[in-house]
Chain A
Amino acid sequence: MPATTFRIFRYQPDSSEPEPFHQDFDLEHEEKLTLLDAILRIQNEQDGTVAVRYSCRSAICGSCACKANGKTVLACMTQVEQVKAESGEEIVRVDPIGNFTPIKDLVVDMTPFWEKFKAVKPFLIPDGPAPEKERLVPKAAMEKIANESKCILCAACYSECNSLAADPEFVGPAAFAWGYRFAADERDGQRKNRAKLYSGEHGVWDCTRCMFCNERCPKGVDPRDAIEKLGSIAFQEKVTHDKGARHAKAFLISLRSGGKLNEILIAPYTDPIGAPFNAPLALRMAQKGKLPKSPLTHKVKDRDQVKKLIKNVKETI
């Protein structure tokens, strides 16, 4: 029978020991044991004050996300022995999810997450009067949003989002997965308004593409892909004022004009107002030969093919 030491994050601000610390609990257990069952056994058998949030125990309520040896998981769908094998560590360290403020032990204050979720208007807003009967939707139309519809709001993506760690106001991956789920729903009438709503200062163009959200999502939602598709919707709706969208436009201009990135163009086109303030860096880079001497574009062979593709290929999101 395996034995495991669980090193659990403890934080009881109302207790006589208000500072956070880690506490070890030893458990003998069967080969098969989920991390949530381990925490609940510790709570039942060793220390009833260990606080953890959970409900369904079957990976559908999204309550029990935590970090196991540094990696965000749903505790109820993670085997203890698997954590040990993957991390190569005998001790299982259990921490609250990241990018949140802990309230008590493994329980965090989810308020910012829910506020951002509400802010993307995660519900259908149809245009025009209500139909007399139900709205029929072809299967293919729902398949476009099937992935995002699987989100259980567990915040595993939010926990390790690198943009959020640097900008706590970033709306974040889960909320945008829901944003896409409604923006691309053909019953919704707010596609352009949603594109505008999601393109603000802490919006879709804040995503740094670290891909942690896709990696961590326990349901295969791929939130980064949803953010990418929201970018595409913004382009289709011509909501391209944001610096992030302008950055993407500079790539399209480069491709059209020569096929490769035009480095003279990219900074001033992305941020025409801010770029001059970066002159000292540009000068230092120029001194080191890091900026091109000529504004001419780099031309690839057969670039008429590229031009034709840019002209012909239709977007389908």
Chain B
Amino acid sequence: MPRQFAYYPGCVAEFSSKELNATTKALAPLLDIELLPMPAATCCGAGDVAEAKPNLYLTLNVRILSEAESMGVDILTICNVCTLNLRRANKLVKDDPRVLEAVNEELIKAGARPYQGTVEVTHLLWFLATEEGLSLLEARGPKGLNGLKVAPYYGCQLLRPSSVMGFEDPDRPQSLERLITALGGEVADYDSKTRCCGFPIILAREEVALKESHVALAGARDAGAQVMVTPCPLCHLAMDAYQRKTEQLMGEEYAMPVLHLPQLIGLALGLPTKTMEFKRHLVPVDEVLSSVGA
């Protein structure tokens, strides 16, 4: 019996970065996971709604949690930002029954199902980087990454604030490293793997954002990485889609392909490259594919 999750891919994976959604869906049966759709789930607000209208942010996110609760399963995410927003809302209502009551009043008034507080929110990375997840990968007999030198890039919101996220030490995370090693890759370690990609302000403060993503890209390049891997589609957009702009701004070359986490796993498990839709990347990944014999 596969492990069932309410699947919350988030807006970016559903639209701009469809390759992430497609790869995750293709990977799920190989990992004995069943991804149940959440047809009523809205956008999490990406931190922007929390900034403009915090009570509305909380209510909308609790509505999402409540949909999963009605399905009787926990939520699986594939985006740092969605994970933080959903977990933060969950913590706010679980920590204070008065907050939950006030949110539920609004939900009931709007005809939505009230929330009991029974759902957990986990990211695919967290699910896979546990003993259970690693044994699922091992059971697939991965063909491996052929020593591919991979720079793990965590970004911010899957690590911090640790009071909300709490899966691992936010300063010395190891989950991506564990996966890369288990899949036969080599870790390219560098300090800026936990720094910000700048994406949240890339449309409003492009230059500041690109200077931030430069720190991460240059760190991975200088560590000798052949490729970066990230658990977040927003980091991916900043590093992949905007990479040429960052090169132009900083007068540097990175030539750094960036993979979504499920794509790296898919390569190691031998998913067809067509399924993972690498053609949608702006920085070509051809050398990565040939390096792992895909």
Q: Which residues of A contact B (CB under 8 A)?
A: 70-71, 86-88, 162-163, 165-167, 170, 205-212, 214-215, 222, 224, 228-229, 231-232, 235, 242-252, 254-255, 259-261, 263, 266-267, 270-271, 274, 278, 281, 284-285, 288-292, 298, 300-306, 308-310, 312-317
B156-177 interface with A by 8 A CB criterion = 156-157, 159-163, 169-172
CB within 8 Å for A215 and B111 given contacts A206-B208, A289-B18, A300-B42: no
Please determine whether A232 and B54 come into contact, CB atoms closer than 8 angstroms. Answer: yes
A-B CB contact pairs (8 Å), 14 listed: A71-B171, A167-B208, A214-B161, A214-B163, A248-B52, A252-B49, A259-B42, A261-B46, A285-B241, A285-B282, A292-B15, A302-B40, A312-B106, A313-B55
Task: Say how far A109's CB is from chain B's closest CB, in angstroms.
Answer: 22
B60 at the interface (CB under 8 A from A): yes
Given A232-B54, A249-B52, A290-B241, A209 contacting B200 (CB threshold 8 A)? yes
Question: If the complex has contacts A232-B54, A306-B60, are A261 and B11 also in contact, measured as CB distance less than 8 A?
Answer: yes
**Chain A nearest CB: distance from B199 CB in Å?**
8
CA distance A317 to B53 in the complex (A): 9
**Would you call B83 an interface residue if the criterion is a C-beta within 8 Å of the partner chain's C-beta atoms?**
no
List 10 A-B pairs, minimum CB-CB distance, nearest first: A211-B160, A231-B51, A166-B211, A261-B11, A308-B110, A210-B196, A243-B204, A248-B48, A162-B196, A248-B52
Q: How far is the CB of A306 from chain B (nearest CB, A)?
A: 6
Name the A residues within 8 Å of B196 (CB-CB). Answer: 162-163, 208-210
Q: In which size bucket is the chain B interface?
A: 35 or more
**Which residues on the B side are within 8 Å of A300 (C-beta)?**
39-42
Question: Is the beta-carbon distance between A162 and B55 smaller than 8 angstroms?
Answer: no
* B69 cross-chain contacts in A, Cβ below 8 A: none
CA distance A308 to B50 in the complex (A): 18
- Residue numbers in B under 8 Å from A162 (CB-CB): 156, 195-196, 198, 212
A270 touches B203 (CB 8 A): yes
The reply to whether B43 and A261 contact each other, CB–CB distance below 8 Å, is: yes
Q: Add 4 more A-B contacts to A166-B207, A243-B205, A305-B40 (CB < 8 A).
A: A167-B205, A206-B201, A215-B161, A309-B110
Which of A251, A254, A278 is packed against the most chain B CB atoms within 10 Å? Answer: A251
- Say whether B203 contacts A266, CB under 8 Å: yes
Q: How far is the CB of B211 from chain A (nearest CB, A)?
A: 4
CB–CB B212/A165 < 8 A: yes
Please state if B55 and A211 are interface contacts (CB–CB under 8 Å): no
The answer to whether the Cβ of B231 comes within 8 Å of any Cβ in the partner chain is no
Cα-based distance from A252 to B57 in the complex (angstroms): 10
CA distance A251 to B160 in the complex (A): 23
Residues A210 and B53 in contact in the complex (CB < 8 Å), given A70-B171, A87-B172, A260-B42: no
B171's nearest neighbour on chain A, judged by CB, is A71
Q: Is the CB of A255 within 8 A of B15?
A: no
Q: Is the CB–CB distance between A167 and B211 below 8 Å?
A: yes
Contact flags (1/0) for B1-23 with A, using CB distance below 8 Å?
00000000001101111100000
Complex partner residue of A252 from B16, B52, B160, CB under 8 angstroms: B52
**Complex Cα distance A166/B199, Å?**
13
For the complex, is B117 an interface residue (Cβ under 8 Å from A)?
no
Q: Smallest CB–CB gap between B47 and chain A, Å?
A: 5
Whether B90 sits at the interface, judged by CB under 8 Å, is: no
Q: B63 at the A/B interface (Cβ < 8 Å)?
A: yes
| B274 is an interface residue with CB less than 8 A from chain A | no
Task: Please report the C-alpha to C-alpha distance between residue A196 and residue B43 in the assembled complex, in whole angstroms.
Answer: 29
Tell me if B111 and A281 are in contact (CB < 8 A).
no
* The residue from A214, A288, A317 contacting B280, defined by CB atoms under 8 A apart: A288
Q: Is the CB of A313 within 8 A of B14?
A: no
Q: A208-B196, A263-B15 are in contact. Are A166 and B56 (CB under 8 A)?
A: no
Beta-carbon nearest neighbor of A217 in chain B? B161
- Given A166-B212, A260-B43, A305-B110, check contact A310 B52 (CB 8 Å): no
> Is the Cβ of B14 less than 8 Å from the Cβ of A235?
no
Are A209 and B203 in contact, with the CB atoms below 8 A? Answer: no
